[in-house]
Amino acid sequence: PRPILLTRHGESQDNVRARIGGDSSLSDTGELYAKKLANFVEKRLKPERAASIWTSTLHRSISTANHIVGFPKVQWRALDEINAGACDGMTYLEIKMDMPEEYESREKDKLRYRYPRGESYLDVIQRLEPVIIELERQRAPVVVISHQAVLRALYAYFADRPLKEIPHIEVPLHTIIEIQMGVTGVQEKRYKLMD
Ligand code: F6P
């Protein structure tokens, strides 16, 4: 069996300020996670030579892979975070105050809600199709360093969770979700590297 390791990027400057979207860099805490992750990946995958590291094209994801050496890295635009369009860079509170109808619609149907000039969860799920096909095709382990909404969708695919649950699945920061695809089905382990 070969593992797929799913993780969010380390804490970013925007995470600290509770702003969604953006392309900020890692906070000091996020930097520390990047180091711990490299350590973990090296220990976990060392004998598995053909492993690869997949990131999004956003700074916080690429920087989280920075300390991992000895494995090829691939950047996928399809792994970028859900595009919050007109709400990019705002906090949830700002959206609630300034765009209450948008906030309401998202509360009502988070799966189908599409940000103005942005994406919905359904859009994200659709654009992930080539990533999933490629992940299925890989024989070697893959470490996927991506973002909350994207990882909810990827995780739901492998863990066989229903569509309507996807926007609510817990994918905390600084935690590695290991998925093993074996002959007997899919097994999951979570490693919390930091609080
Ligand atoms: O807050 C971090 C983040 O990755 C945002 O960039 C993104 O908009 C959000 O999480 C997605 O989570 P939710 O769908 O719960 O708003």
Does residue 147 line the site of ligand 1, with CB under 6 A? yes
Cα separations in angstroms, 149 against 107, 137, 193: 15, 23, 20
pLDDT in the model for residue 50: 87
Give the Cβ contact number of residue 138 at 10 Å.
15
The Cα 31–Cα 26 span in angstroms is 6
The Cα 90–Cα 86 span in angstroms is 9
Name beta bridge partners: 134.
none
pLDDT in the model for residue 182: 77
Q: Which helix (H) or strand (E) holds 143?
A: strand 142-146
From first to last of its 195 residues, what are the pLDDT tens digits of the chain? 689 999 999 999 999 999 999 999 999 999 999 999 999 999 999 766 789 999 999 999 999 999 999 999 999 999 999 999 999 999 999 999 999 999 999 999 999 999 999 999 999 999 999 999 999 999 899 999 999 999 999 999 999 999 999 999 999 999 999 999 878 888 999 999 998
Ligand 1 pocket mutation, candidates 81, 110, 111, criterion most atoms within 8 A of CB: 81
Give the type of residue at 189: K
**139 has catalytic annotation:** no
Give the type of residue at 38: A
**66 has catalytic annotation:** no
pLDDT in the model for residue 108: 98
Q: Which of 11, 19, 81, 174 is catalytic?
A: 81
pLDDT in the model for residue 62: 98
Q: Within the chain, what is the greatest distance between any pair of CA atoms? A: 53
